[in-house]
């Protein structure tokens, strides 16, 4: 496993990390979580991603229980959580980054994770109604109290992040240091164009999500929705159209010979492709079973085999021209 600095921070994250969205509690109980986290950790993963909203808080409970059983040294791994949607459908408690919610949010997460602190906290989405200054101060205070060590953003625009950084700099507060955007062969918006310049200028890190587009890039949806896949889960109907989109499936089929030439599987190729982007600090992988973790962790071995010519071939398959990518 290789490690990359999280932006300009002193912390290094494994280039492949592991997250619990959809899977923990819904598909994986504590035992399965222990098995998958252990497989990832043994492969060198040092960063485990979570959010208070995942499975309504139960994903954090499962991860907390798993960590207790795994008994790893606290210094050897990083845990994150995120706030925005909240756990209660109530005024001041949903879709917000207000100070009260963030403070109550971190306290609840630490309780469910059974940890004294988390390493990273994210504002899971921008909040257009709370003054950014209020959010920046709350994140700063959470760090000052030792409940988290670094903070970041998820799916914020470059200008929103710059605003937060400038407020923090003006008041000598802890700045946000990392963005968590979706990034995969289909979804490239937040790591191209203006963002590239932003990441370069500010040295902002990225922990990217859904590198397999929820499984679409594994090729498993070519013959319809398989049983026990994310696409078959109750409550995830909104994903089905995307997972069975004919045009997208044709692009995935065109990738198969590329993977074959490299002697790897489609998931490994899709993960390694994300790692080719120098602005990616870590690719957060997801898995519903331990075999997937073993397969995905081998993606690191594929990265050096992907040449600029091959990247251009993949761009061609996805209908991305260089100019478009650079917009």
Pick 18 or 202: Cβ nearer ligand NAP: 18
Pick 191 or 284: Cβ nearer ligand NAP: 284
Structure token pair of residue 216: 């679409």
Q: Per residue, what are the HEC states of 185-238? A: CCCCHHHCCHHHHHHHHHCCEEEEECCCHHHHHHCCCCCCCCCCCHHHCCCCHH
- Contact between 23 and ligand NAP by CB under 6 A: the answer reads yes
Structure token pair of residue 82: 């995120």
- Contact between 136 and ligand NAP by CB under 6 A: the answer reads no
- Contact between 64 and ligand NAP by CB under 6 A: the answer reads no
- Contact between 325 and ligand NAP by CB under 6 A: the answer reads no
- Contact between 282 and ligand NAP by CB under 6 A: the answer reads no
Output the smallest distance, CB 217 to ligand NAP, in A.
7
- Which of 95, 145, 90, 148 minimizes the C-alpha distance to 117? 148
- Contact between 20 and ligand NAP by CB under 6 A: the answer reads yes
Output the smallest distance, CB 214 to ligand NAP, in A.
5
**Residues comprising the chain, all counted:** 327
- Which of 189, 145, 203 minimizes the C-alpha distance to 7? 203
Q: For ligand NAP, what does the binding mask look like between residues 182 and 221, x meaning CB under 6 A?
A: ---------------------------xxxxxxx--x-x-
Q: Are 24 and 34 in contact (CB under 8 A)?
A: no
| Span of 18-26, 126-134, 194-202, 272-280 interacting with ligand NAP by CB under 6 A | 18-26
Q: What residues numbered 288-317 form the site for ligand NAP, per CB under 6 A?
A: 288, 292, 295-296
Pick 26 or 130: Cβ nearer ligand NAP: 26
- Contact between 126 and ligand NAP by CB under 6 A: the answer reads no
Q: Are 62 and 320 in contact (CB under 8 A)?
A: no
Q: Could you tell me which residues come within 8 angstroms of residue 33 by beta carbon, excluding any fewer than 6 positions away?
A: 20, 24, 62, 63, 65, 66
Pick 110 or 266: Cβ nearer ligand NAP: 266
Output the smallest distance, CB 227 to ligand NAP, in A.
10
For 299, other C-beta atoms within 10 Å of its C-beta total 24
Q: What residues numbered 145-174 form the site for ligand NAP, per CB under 6 A?
A: 154-155
Pick 256 or 295: Cβ nearer ligand NAP: 295
Q: Per residue, what are the HEC states of 6-56? A: CCCCCCEEECEEEECCCCECCCECHHHHHHHHHHHHHCCCCEEECCCCHHH
Q: Are 36 and 290 in contact (CB under 8 A)?
A: yes
- Contact between 285 and ligand NAP by CB under 6 A: the answer reads yes
- Contact between 109 and ligand NAP by CB under 6 A: the answer reads no
Element (H, E) at 308: helix 308-317
204 is catalytic: no
Q: What is the largest CA-CA distance in the chain?
A: 56
- Contact between 230 and ligand NAP by CB under 6 A: the answer reads yes
Residues lying near ligand NAP in the complex (CB under 6 A) are found at: 19-23, 27, 49, 124, 154-155, 180, 209-215, 218, 220, 229-230, 267, 284-288, 292, 295-296
Active-site residue numbers? 54
């Amino acid at each position: 496993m290789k490690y990359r600095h999280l932006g300009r921070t002193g912390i290094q994250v494994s280039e492949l990390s592991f997250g619990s969205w959809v899977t923990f509690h819904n598909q994986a109980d504590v035992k399965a979580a222990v098995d998958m986290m252990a497989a990832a950790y043994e492969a060198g993963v040092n960063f485990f991603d979570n959010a208070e909203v995942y499975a309504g808080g139960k994903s954090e409970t499962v991860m907390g229980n798993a960590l207790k059983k795994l008994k790893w040294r606290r210094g050897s791994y990083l845990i994150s959580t995120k706030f925005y949607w909240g756990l209660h459908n109530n005024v001041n408690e949903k879709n917000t980054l207000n100070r009260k919610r963030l403070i109550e949010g971190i306290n609840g997460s630490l309780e469910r994770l059974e940890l004294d602190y988390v390493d990273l906290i994210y504002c899971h989405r921008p909040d257009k109604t709370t003054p950014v200054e209020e959010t920046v101060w709350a994140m700063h205070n959470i760090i000052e109290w030792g409940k988290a060590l670094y903070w970041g953003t998820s799916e914020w625009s470059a200008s929103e992040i710059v605003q937060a950084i400038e407020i923090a700099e003006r008041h000598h507060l802890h700045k946000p240091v990392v963005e968590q955007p979706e990034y995969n062969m289909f979804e490239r918006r937040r790591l191209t164009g203006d963002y590239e310049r932003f990441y370069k200028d500010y040295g902002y890190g990225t922990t990217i999500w859904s590198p397999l587009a929820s499984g679409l890039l594994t090729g498993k949806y070519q013959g319809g929705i398989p049983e026990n896949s994310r696409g078959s889960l109750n409550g995830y109907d909104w994903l089905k159209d995307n997972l069975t989109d004919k045009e997208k499936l044709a692009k995935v089929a065109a990738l198969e010979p590329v993977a074959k030439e490299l002697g790897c599987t489609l998931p490994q190729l899709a993960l390694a492709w994300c790692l080719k982007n120098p602005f990616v600090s870590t690719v957060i992988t997801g898995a519903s079973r331990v075999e997937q973790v073993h397969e995905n962790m081998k993606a690191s071995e594929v990265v050096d085999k992907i040449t600029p010519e091959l990247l251009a071939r993949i761009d061609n398959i996805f209908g991305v021209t260089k100019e478009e990518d650079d917009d």
